[in-house]
Amino acid sequence: MLRAQFVLFDGFDPLDVVAPFEVLSAGSGFLGGKLAVELVSADGPGVVRSGNPGLTLTATAAFDPDASGYVLVPGAAGPVDGDPDTGVETIPVLLSRFASGDAMPLLRRAFDNPDSTVVTICGGSLALAMAGLLEGRTATTHVLGIDLLEATGTNAVRARVVDDGDLISGGGVTSGLDVALYVLERDFGSHTAHAVEELFEYERRGTTWKAAH
């Protein structure tokens, strides 16, 4: 069975997780349970606070970078501006903390795993880029982070979804729906993706940018 592991970290954006989680879970249902969709963290099972006050999710397993399937990396939720010295946990602060944390060596191993595809939503690609994992790769992120993504040595593209082989990235927060639907179509066929679209009454938006190989 393939695993779809959503990597939680303190301050994650819950919509970056819940929307694609539901899409992939529904897709797995149409595929007869082919995908095990789960919430994980570098610290193992436990409650992880999101960037939205009062909203948490529970990781049920430790992040396994050697598993076959997908590793999904959300962005952060919080204020864009503010003084970190006064304790304001801005999105850049949260992403930087995640980028320097215990999950990044594991994510590096996931990139080295030939049976794994890394999928980022919104600021998730920025965190990977801050950790030096996306240099020379093609990716996208939220419109407010495109310039920063480019500055890390990533080929930043303004697109809803970007496919760079074993790295698929999405733009703003709601792009998690489109990213997950694209994964289903690319790897499991249009019939599965269409079935989920009909179930959710949602049609995937935008043209997927595919990097030349």
pLDDT category, 85, cuts 50, 70, 90?
Answer: low
Q: Say how many C-beta atoms besides its own lie within 10 A of residue 128's C-beta.
A: 30
Statement: residue 79 has pLDDT above 90: no
Query: What is the structure's pLDDT at 173?
Result: 84
**Whether 129 contacts 139, CB under 8 Å:** yes
**Whether 157 contacts 139, CB under 8 Å:** yes
Span 73-87, average pLDDT:
82
pLDDT tens digits for range 158-172: 999 999 999 999 998
Q: Which residue has the tokens 């480019």?
A: 150
CA atoms of 145 and 103, how far apart (whole Å) = 21
**Whether 61 contacts 23, CB under 8 Å:** no
Q: Which residue has the tokens 């970078």?
A: 65
Q: What is the pTM of this model?
A: 0.95
Average pLDDT, the chain: 95
Span 63-85, average pLDDT:
90
pLDDT category, 88, cuts 50, 70, 90?
Answer: confident
Please spell the DSSP secondary structure of the chain, one letter per residue: -EEEEEEE-TTB-HHHHHHHHHHHHHHHHHTTS-EEEEEEETT-SEEEEBSSTT-EEEE-EE--TTSSEEEEE--B-S-SS--GGGT---HHHHHHHHHTSTHHHHHHHHHH-TTEEEEE-TTHHHHHHHTT--TT-EE---GGGHHHHHHTT-EE--SSEEE-SSEEEE-STTHHHHHHHHHHHHHH-HHHHHHHHHHHT----SPEEE---
CA atoms of 204 and 194, how far apart (whole Å) = 9
